[in-house]
Structure formats: structure tokens, C-alpha cells
């Protein structure tokens, strides 16, 4: 494909969208300079205005070994950006009358346990099913994505589960299992694999000639980028996976094809060709109490640079992607990387700010609260999944640190309600009539998580000894051994040894996983539960 020269690009941009600066391309170059390094991977960037690519270019290398550069035509794996294509296939089948999104998934997937609850297709699409994430389960198992795993194995993982994260509709929780299961529903309902159905019903009608769901990584794809992970400064390791599961990911595509896909949201050519299909794609899910989430069908509806935005990111084994559409401005921004970072999201937001101006996020006014009040709150607040939030005090300032994360200051909106500036979240302290702190709550994304106030804890040897033993996985097909090595508690699995840190009696952390001990009536630890955030309550029974 022959691309327009930079001066003409600038003229087109000015004609199509008055706010696009004449030196826009050079400013984008500056934003993406971390991708633009010799002998290193990078990414590709596209900006579409009124359905036309006014900027499309590559940075860095698509393949280091071959010296192949990233260009406007490079084929990239977009990871979870793929979910919207899976959702569209489901909605097209509904339009054909072959299913309803209100259907119980057991109508099509009778083998999937739902624990006495009704999980619908709608729950899967909107991430409110309460089911555990199969990829997180595999990580707990120790799977490193180097061995072949198939859709059947993913299904078997879900079949063996003895519990869920929550009841359907109770909360929003990002879940790859939902879209893996949607891919299976497409196959069982249509009689065609998701890859075949998507080709005939999405990619071919929209002339997205360089796009498809990848089902075999050994397939030769001309112009395809390789993904990398940084090792030492200036050094990279090539990444590859034989994971054959798709639906939650797996789409290979280009800037030009993504532009065609985004344009279809303005002028639908799929299915019956009317706007109802698009309206349903953009319909956000609701929780059981009627509260709306901001997640539609493989798409997140939010704001960036002061504008309404429809976006989704993707991050898969070195590939990272962000696609964003600003519907009221008819502008789309695509940032797709192969460098093993998550710079695509950061670059996408910065490019939006170049176009629309820097977002002025409204924050509550900071209330002046005395140190006498602030001194009430320091302590350890325990989340239901086993993690802890540590609140600390310095004169005039409280800070919070969630297990496995950075420490951030929190600012008073009232004497009990505090907000963070780094994310849109609030931390509320619960106090009784005597101003004694009884617990706390995190408010984020329309959801509320209750925390209990933990007692001051000093690691005791008997608490470490209580964990020691051999454990058989029930939800995960592995056995693990927990041992006490001097003053260090360790877990051994598949020959690998990792340290466990106690954060309270019967509560520990393994890397970013929380572990909770379960005791019998006599006080002896008989099991442990592993919580990852996306897969909670994974049970291991103690045999010795």
C-alpha cells in the first residue's frame, strides 16, 4: 500500500479535523520515541479521522533477527482487543435467531458447572458471570504457555472447578473464561469454528483482508511481527506460545483493517445492516442491583482527554495494544506494540491529548483534617480475597499500600472518605458513634469492596508451622508442599521453590497470590485457598 507523504497528511488532517495540529506527526513521533530505537522492537500507530487513516506508521523492528521494520502494514496480535470480534459473532447469531443473549449457558455448555446459579450469555459478554479466569488458574498450576494447550483443555479446566468467584451479576470482574466459552458457543450453535464464522460474517464483509483469528501459531503470516520481552538493557528475548485457545484473544490484524472495523460502528454493514446490532454492542452490563458497569460487549466505555471514548486494550506475551474510538469526533487511535511493555495504552492516551487537549480530571476539593483525626486510621485492613491494605500516617498525610502494589497518598474529601489521585477510587473508613474505626471500604468502578480491620500482627513460628504440609489441588491439578526452612516459609511445586510471606494469622502472600488457611473445629489447618483476584478460592486439601 502506498502511503501519503507527511505534508499531505497534515493538510488532510487539518481539513478533516480542525483541532489536529499541522505538526501532528512529529509530535506523535515524540510521544512514541521509546518505540523508535535501532535494533529493538517497537510498534505501529494509526489515527483515523472520518473513516480515513490520516497517520499510519511503524517504529522499531517487527523482527529483530530479520531486521524487518514495523510499518503501516505490519500484522500485529492485538490480544484482548479480539474480544469485541467474538462478541459481535454472538450478536450476529442472535440476529439470525439461533440464540439469545439471555439464554442460560448450560443450554449450550451443559458440562460447565454454575453451582445452582443461572449464568447467561449476557453475563459472559459483560464480565459479570462470577466464573473463575482459566488463564489465572493455569498460572497457579505453573503453566508457562510454552506447551500446547487446546480449547478442550480450557473447557476441562472450567469443568473441574468446585466454586466460583461470586454469584452471577454480583460484581464485575475481568474474566477471559467468558470469551473462551463464547467461542465454544459460536462453534456449537453455528457448526463452524469461531475463526471460520468470524471470517465469513465479519472480516470478509468488511474487506478486512489481513485479519483473522489465529488457531495455529505455526501458520506463516506475511508481514507478521514477532513479540519480545526485554531482558538486559538493549537486549530482548523472542516470545512464542503454542496456546491454541482463542476468543478471549487471538486476532491478527493491521491498522487499515482496524480502521474498517471502527468505521462499521458508524455505518453498519454486518448482519441485517441496521444500527440495532451496533446499539447492542455498545450496551453496558448491569449488576443485580441495577447498577451499570462501563463494560459493553468486549468494549469499555469511558472518557479520555475530556471526550467520550470506546476502547479496549490487549496484552499477550510481548504484544500490547490499545484501540480507542471517540464517537462524537469520528476519530480513532490505534497503538499496537511488540516490545514486551504496555506502552500502547500510555501512547494512545497521549495522542488523544495531542488531538483534544489535556484532560482536566475533576477531583473533590481536599479537606483540611487534623492530625488527631488522621491518627485514628493507620493499620492493616483485610480484603475478602486474603490481601491487605496497609494505611500509614505521616504528619498531614495518610497513604495506602495494597499487597503487591505501590504506596500511594490518599486525600480527605471528608473526615472518613478519602480519594486517590492516581486512579479513580476512594477509600472510606467506617467508624462507630464513638469514632472508633471498625473497618473500611474501597469504592471503584461503581463497586464497593468491604475490608475488615486487622489486628496488629507479628509473625509467629507456630503460625508458619501451621501451614507446613503436603497439599493436593482440587480446582488445580497439582500437588504442592509447604515447608519451613529456618525462618522462611516456602512452597515447592514442580521442583521450583518460592518464599511465602505471612501477613497475618492464616493469611499469606505468594508473589501476587493471596493464600488463606482453613482450619477444622479443633484449630488444625486442613486446607488452603489460593486467590488471584480473577480466580479466587482455589482449593488445596492438606494430606499431611
**What does the pLDDT read at residue 360?**
56
Report pLDDT digits (tens) over 498-531: 999 898 889 998 877 899 999 999 999 999 999 9
**What does the pLDDT read at residue 359?**
60
3-state secondary structure of 289: coil
* pLDDT beyond 80 at 15: no
**pLDDT classification of 287: cutoffs 50, 70, 90:** very high
* pLDDT beyond 50 at 8: no
DSSP states of 358-405 as a string?
A: ------PPPPP--HHHHTT--EEEE-TTS-EEEEEEETTEEEEEETTS
In this predicted model, which residue has the larger pLDDT, 231 or 180? 180
Residue 240 cell numbers, joined: 512464542
* pLDDT beyond 60 at 336: yes
Distances (CA, A) of 379 to 384, 392, 438: 16, 7, 11
What gap in Å lies between CA 217 and CA 214, rounded to an integer?
A: 7
**Given CA atoms 255, 257, 260, 265 in this order, what sign does their dihedral have?**
negative
Q: What domains can you pick out in the chain, each with its CATH number?
A: 77-356 (3.40.710.10), 371-453 (2.40.128.50), 461-542 (2.40.128.50)
Please state the separation of Cα 77 from the chain's center in Å: 16
Percentage of residues in the chain having pLDDT higher than 90: 78
**What does the pLDDT read at residue 12?**
41
* pLDDT beyond 90 at 88: yes
b vs e for 102-129, b when ≥16 Cβ sit within 10 Å of the residue's Cβ?
A: ebbbeebbeebbbeebebbbbbbbbbbb
What gap in Å lies between CA 364 and CA 346, rounded to an integer?
A: 25
Entry pTM = 0.88
**What does the pLDDT read at residue 233?**
83
> CA torsion, points 13, 16, 20, 25, in degrees to nearest 10?
-20
What gap in Å lies between CA 251 and CA 256, rounded to an integer?
A: 14
Read off the pLDDT of each residue in 151-170 and give the average, rounded to a whole number: 97
As a whole number of Å, the CA-based R_g of the chain is 25
Read off the pLDDT of each residue in 486-497 and give the average, rounded to a whole number: 90
Residue 318 cell numbers, joined: 510481548
Please state the separation of Cα 39 from the chain's center in Å: 30
For the purposes of burial, counting CB atoms within 10 Å of the CB of 322, is it exposed (0-12), middle (13-18) or buried (19 or more)? buried
* pLDDT beyond 80 at 239: yes
* pLDDT beyond 50 at 70: yes
Calculate the average pLDDT of the chain. Answer: 92
Element (H, E) at 94: helix 83-95
Read off the pLDDT of each residue in 50-70 and give the average, rounded to a whole number: 97
Least confident of 18-22, 53-57, 209-213, 511-515: 18-22
For residue 350, give every residue at least 6 positions away whose Cβ sits within 8 Å of its Cβ, in sequence order, or none: 31
End-to-end CA distance of the chain: 66
**pLDDT classification of 219: cutoffs 50, 70, 90:** confident
What gap in Å lies between CA 512 and CA 529, rounded to an integer?
A: 14
* pLDDT beyond 90 at 6: no
What gap in Å lies between CA 323 and CA 329, rounded to an integer?
A: 15
Partners of 56 in beta bridges:
46
Report pLDDT digits (tens) over 340-376: 998 999 999 999 999 998 765 556 889 999 999 999 9
Residue 358 cell numbers, joined: 489535556
Please state the separation of Cα 397 from the chain's center in Å: 31
Report pLDDT digits (tens) over 89-145: 999 999 999 999 999 999 999 999 999 999 999 999 999 999 999 999 999 999 888
What gap in Å lies between CA 249 and CA 177, rounded to an integer?
A: 11
Report pLDDT digits (tens) over 317-334: 999 999 999 999 999 999
Amino acid at each position: 500500500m502506498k502511503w501519503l507523504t507527511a505534508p499531505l497528511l497534515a493538510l488532510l488532517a487539518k481539513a478533516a479535523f480542525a483541532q489536529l495540529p499541522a505538526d501532528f506527526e512529529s509530535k506523535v513521533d515524540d510521544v512514541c520515541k521509546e518505540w523508535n530505537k535501532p535494533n529493538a522492537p517497537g510498534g505501529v500507530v494509526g489515527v483515523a479521522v472520518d473513516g480515513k487513516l490520516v497517520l499510519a506508521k511503524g517504529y522499531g523492528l517487527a523482527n529483530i533477527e530479520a531486521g524487518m521494520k514495523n510499518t503501516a502494514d505490519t500484522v500485529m496480535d492485538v490480544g484482548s482487543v479480539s474480544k469485541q470480534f467474538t462478541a459481535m459473532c454472538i450478536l450476529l447469531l442472535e440476529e439470525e435467531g439461533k440464540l439469545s443473549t439471555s439464554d442460560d449457558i448450560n443450554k449450550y455448555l451443559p458440562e460447565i458447572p454454575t453451582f445452582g446459579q443461572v449464568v447467561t450469555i449476557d453475563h459472559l459478554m459483560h464480565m459479570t458471570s462470577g466464573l473463575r479466569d482459566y488463564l489465572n488458574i493455569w498460572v497457579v498450576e505453573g503453566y508457562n504457555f510454552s506447551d500446547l494447550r487446546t480449547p478442550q483443555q480450557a473447557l476441562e479446566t472450567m469443568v473441574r472447578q468446585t466454586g466460583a468467584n461470586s454469584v452471577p451479576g454480583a460484581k464485575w470482574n475481568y474474566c477471559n473464561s467468558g470469551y473462551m466459552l463464547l467461542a465454544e458457543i459460536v462453534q456449537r450453535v453455528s457448526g463452524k469454528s469461531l475463526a471460520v464464522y468470524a471470517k465469513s460474517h465479519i472480516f470478509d464483509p468488511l474487506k478486512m483482508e489481513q485479519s483473522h483469528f489465529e488457531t495455529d501459531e505455526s501458520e506463516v503470516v506475511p508481514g507478521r511481527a514477532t513479540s519480545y520481552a526485554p531482558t538486559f538493557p538493549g537486549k530482548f528475548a523472542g516470545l512464542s506460545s503454542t496456546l491454541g485457545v482463542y476468543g478471549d484473544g487471538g486476532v491478527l490484524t493491521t491498522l487499515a483493517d482496524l480502521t474498517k472495523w471502527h468505521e462499521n460502528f458508524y455505518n453498519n454493514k454486518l448482519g441485517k445492516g441496521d444500527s440495532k446490532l451496533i446499539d447492542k454492542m455498545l450496551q453496558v452490563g448491569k449488576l443485580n442491583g441495577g447498577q451499570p458497569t462501563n463494560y459493553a460487549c468486549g468494549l469499555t466505555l469511558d472518557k479520555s482527554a475530556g471526550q467520550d471514548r470506546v476502547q479496549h486494550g490487549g496484552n499477550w506475551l510481548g504484544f500490547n495494544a490499545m484501540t480507542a474510538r471517540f464517537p462524537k469526533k469520528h476519530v480513532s487511535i490505534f497503538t499496537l506494540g511488540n516490545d514486551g511493555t504496555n506502552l500502547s495504552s500510555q501512547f494512545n492516551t497521549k495522542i488523544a491529548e495531542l488531538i483534544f487537549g489535556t484532560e482536566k480530571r475533576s477531583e473533590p476539593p481536599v479537606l483540611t483534617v487534623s492530625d488527631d483525626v488522621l491518627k485514628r486510621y493507620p493499620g492493616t485492613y483485610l480484603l475478602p480475597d486474603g490481601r491487605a491494605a496497609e494505611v500509614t500516617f505521616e504528619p498531614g498525610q495518610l497513604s495506602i499500600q495494597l499487597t503487591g502494589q505501590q504506596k500511594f497518598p490518599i486525600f480527605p474529601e471528608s473526615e472518613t472518605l478519602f480519594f486517590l489521585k492516581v486512579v479513580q477510587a476512594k477509600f472510606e473508613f467506617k467508624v462507630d458513634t464513638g469514632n472508633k474505626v471498625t473497618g473500611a471500604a474501597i469504592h471503584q468502578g461503581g463497586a464497593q469492596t468491604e475490608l475488615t480491620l486487622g489486628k496488629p500482627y507479628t509473625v509467629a513460628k507456630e503460625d508458619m508451622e501451621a501451614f507446613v504440609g503436603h497439599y493436593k489441588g482440587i480446582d488445580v491439578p497439582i500437588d504442592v508442599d509447604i515447608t519451613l526452612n529456618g525462618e522462611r516459609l516456602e512452597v515447592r511445586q514442580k521442583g521450583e521453590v518460592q518464599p511465602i510471606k505471612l501477613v497475618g494469622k492464616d493469611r499469606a502472600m505468594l508473589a501476587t497470590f493471596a493464600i488463606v488457611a482453613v482450619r477444622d473445629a479443633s484449630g488444625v489447618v486442613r486446607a488452603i485457598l489460593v486467590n488471584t483476584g480473577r480466580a479466587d478460592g482455589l482449593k488445596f486439601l492438606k494430606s499431611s
